[in-house]
Structure 1
Amino acid sequence: MLIEEGAKYQISQGVQWNFNSAETMTVISNNGITVQFLLDENKGRGSMPIDHLFYLLKKANLTQIPNKRMLLNTDTTEEQIG
């Protein structure tokens, strides 16, 4: 899975206390080893190893929120197929 800058993730309630009770986080930097992020509502910022981000995604503690561009690309692809 590719972690892009600007990707937004929903934080599950079970781990929100680890993220200052923020509901979402946005990736601001990814150097291939470490991911830097901002928490919603100005609740802070942080960084973590990319392997830990993958672990949180695998355990469903984080879920990616699709951005509008991704949704538009999906709609276009489905129209071309149909």
Structure 2
Amino acid sequence: MSIEAGSRYQISSTIKGYYNSAESLTVIRNNGITIQFTLAEGKGYGSMPIQHFQYLLKRSELTPMTNKKSLLSQEIQDEQIG
């Protein structure tokens, strides 16, 4: 799973306290070693090693949120192909 800039992740209730009780975070930069992110609702920003981010994903502490715009563009592409 690639972690790209602009990707949004929902923060589980068990670790929200570590992230200023934000509902989600958005990746703003991934340099291959460190992930930089902003928290939803303007609650701050931060960074963490990519290994820790992957650990949180594996434990389901962070879950990817689907982008409605990308879903719509995928549907349009499917219609154009078929």
Normalized against structure 2, the TM-score is what?
A: 0.87
CA distance in 1, matches of 2:51, 2:8: 17
Give the percent of matched residue pairs that are identical in Structure 1 and Structure 2.
53
Structure 1, unaligned stretches of length 5 or more? none
Q: How many positions carry a matched residue from both structures?
A: 81
Q: Please give the secondary structure, in 2, of the residue aligned with 1:13.
A: coil
CA distance in 2, matches of 1:52, 1:72: 31
> Is it true that 1:8 corresponds to 2:11 in the alignment?
no
How far is 1:72 from its partner?
3.0
Which structure 2 residues correspond to residues 1-82 of structure 1 after superposition, within 5 A? Answer: 1-76=1-76, 80=81
How far is 1:75 from its partner?
3.0
Normalized against structure 1, the TM-score is what?
A: 0.87
Structure 2, unaligned stretches of length 5 or more? none
CA distance in 2, matches of 1:41, 1:27: 14
CA distance in 1, matches of 2:45, 2:55: 19
Q: Deviations over 1:13-66 (max 9, x none)?
A: 000001010000000000000000000111110000011111000100000011
